[in-house]
């Protein structure tokens, strides 16, 4: 239960620019290997531009609305589902941890939101040169949002998530460190994103959400 250990003994709270928590070493070595080995389409030579969202191929970004099909963007996104979980056995164990009572109840107390009827959504991300994410607040259906960074290529720590105040002044950057993450609960003035920065090879990580809409992973009752 590396996740629970990280949440209870390797975590810190910050109140600026909004309430958020970090945690260290929540993933096993085997889970990190699955994230690093996840296959993504080669985007070199493709005629597209990043638009400040994760709908990088000009898709509609429907995942932001909780629509499971994801529109055109789905081939560049790697959500862990029951259908593909056999490829990610360690990440499936991580999902089981997220769905366990001791984990989600602990997080629930921290963020002061009821997660007892929520679903877990897990996405392996692979951001490449040109990616950026405009400052935004998450949809209300995301009860908890966060990333766990995996840095196999020794990319700059500056590639972490930028956090902004209500006037969109950047207050801090959560460092892009290996096996290190953060989370917060959606709400007004929880502005976050990533400015355009140099990515040498890949910015890999794991996007973790507790959501109100249905996924394959319901928390345990």
Residues 6+ apart with CB under 8 A from 162: 135, 170, 172, 173, 174, 192, 193, 194, 195
pLDDT value of residue 55: 55
Q: Which of 3-7, 30-34, 69-73, 136-140 has the lowest mean pLDDT?
A: 69-73
pLDDT value of residue 7: 97
Using the Cα atoms of residue 156, residue 157, residue 161 and residue 164 in order, give the sign of their dihedral.
negative
pLDDT value of residue 68: 44
pLDDT value of residue 105: 97
C-alpha separations of 37 from 9, 66, 87, 178, 180 in Å: 29, 26, 10, 15, 18
Domain boundaries, the chain: 2-43+77-218
pLDDT value of residue 75: 47
H or E stretch at 111 = helix 101-111
pLDDT value of residue 57: 44
Q: What is the pTM of this model?
A: 0.87
Q: Give the CATH fold of the 2-43+77-218 domain.
A: Jelly Rolls (2.60.120)
Check if the beta carbon of residue 205 is closer than 8 Å to that of residue 77.
no
CA distance 164 to 173: 9
Our measurement of the distance from residue 209's CA atom to the centroid of its chain's CA atoms, rounded to an integer in Å, reads 7
pLDDT in tens, 11-29: 999 999 999 999 999 999 9
Label residue 93 left, alpha or beta by phi (over 0 means left) and psi (-120 to 50 means alpha). Answer: alpha
CA distance 103 to 210: 12
Query: Counting beta carbons within 10 angstroms of the beta carbon of residue 27, is it exposed (0 to 12), middle (13 to 18) or buried (19 or more)?
Result: buried
pLDDT value of residue 51: 58
pLDDT in tens, 131-179: 888 899 998 999 999 999 999 999 999 999 999 999 999 999 999 999 9
Rounded (to 5) percent helix, strand, coil in the chain: 25, 25, 50
pLDDT value of residue 160: 96
- Reference 185, options 109, 111, 99; nearest CA is 111
pLDDT in tens, 71-123: 444 445 689 999 999 999 999 999 999 999 999 999 999 999 999 999 999 99
- The residue that leads in pLDDT, 166 or 53, is 166
* SS3 label, residue 17: coil
């Amino acid at each position: 239960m590396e996740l629970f250990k990280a949440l209870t003994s390797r975590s810190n709270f910050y109140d600026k620019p909004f309430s958020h928590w970090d945690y260290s070493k929540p993933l096993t070595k085997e889970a990190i290997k699955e994230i690093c080995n996840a296959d993504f389409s080669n985007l070199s030579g493709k005629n597209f531009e990043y638009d400040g969202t994760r709908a990088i191929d000009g898709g509609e970004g429907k995942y932001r609305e909780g629509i499971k099909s994801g529109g055109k963007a789905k081939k560049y996104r790697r959500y862990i589902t029951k259908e593909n979980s056999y490829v990610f056995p360690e990440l499936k164990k991580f999902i089981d941890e997220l769905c366990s009572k001791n984990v989600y109840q602990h997080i629930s107390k921290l963020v002061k939101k009821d997660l007892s009827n929520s679903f877990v959504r897990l996405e392996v991300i692979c951001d490449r040169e040109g990616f950026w994410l405009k400052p935004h607040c998450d949809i209300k259906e995301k009860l908890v949002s966060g990333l766990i960074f995996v840095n196999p290529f020794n990319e700059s720590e500056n590639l972490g998530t930028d956090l902004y105040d209500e006037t969109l002044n950047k207050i801090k950057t959560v460092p892009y460190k290996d096996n290190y993450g953060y989370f917060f609960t959606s709400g007004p003035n929880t502005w976050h994103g990533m400015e355009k920065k140099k990515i040498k090879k890949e910015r890999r990580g794991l996007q973790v959400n507790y959501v109100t809409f249905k996924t394959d992973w319901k928390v345990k009752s």
